[in-house]
Structure 1
Amino acid sequence: MVVFRYVAMVLALLLAGCTTTTTLKPEAALSNGGAPDSAVGVLLNQAQKAQAKGDLAAADGWLVRAMRISPTAPVVYYRMALLRKQQGQPDQARQLASRALSLAPDKRMKRDINKFLQQL
């Protein structure tokens, strides 16, 4: 039963990758300081798709799920900060970006977060 679930999850992830026409922007790329498992990566991609369509509520839902799965992934907090800025909530965006910095992101993400904070 466990093997079946694992195979089903792998197939779902592969198929999700086949239907994806967009990729994460460089500032949101999964990297050393990013999400540790592929489930979070799938959720981040879903959030990006929803955000690109202007469905900010759906993007928020995907990101909240990613945060529950991986509460110490800087990329999740950074992506949530980007969303909050788009939603017109700069104070929350600043707090989330600061939290992402506190979670020791890699050099590239740290640079992107600092740039983001300067623009708020």
Structure 2
Amino acid sequence: YLTQQTLKNNTGLSSGKISQEVNKLLEDGLIEKAEVTDKGKITYSASSAGLILIRFSRSIINRFTKWEKNLVDMKLEFENNRRTLGKLKGYNQIYKLLIFLMETLSLYKKSLSIIDEVLNDL
């Protein structure tokens, strides 16, 4: 088993950062506490690789969907200021990227409901 100290030594990250990331994995359901000893030493476990991948995908999609309002606002701002911004180098590429991200977000949201169904059936 990996300990937080081992992770710290191998990655060079601080104990606080390791703890923060472990808590995020717990929060996202990618790992769970398997055992806590009398001395407070915690052993974490993860389920099958496929299930981990599904949960990880869900976590990433959830993070991405939180950007939806920002993307909509950015697109609107780009459109409203096209007269001045449109002359700038890179405007068209950034605008196309915004459109792509918004379309992708729509597909991801559909995938999220399917992933939720799979996880609920377990």
Q: Normalization by structure 1: what TM-score?
A: 0.30
**Structure (1/2) with the larger strand percentage:** 2
Greater Cα radius of gyration, structure 1 or 2? 2
TM-score normalized by structure 2?
0.29
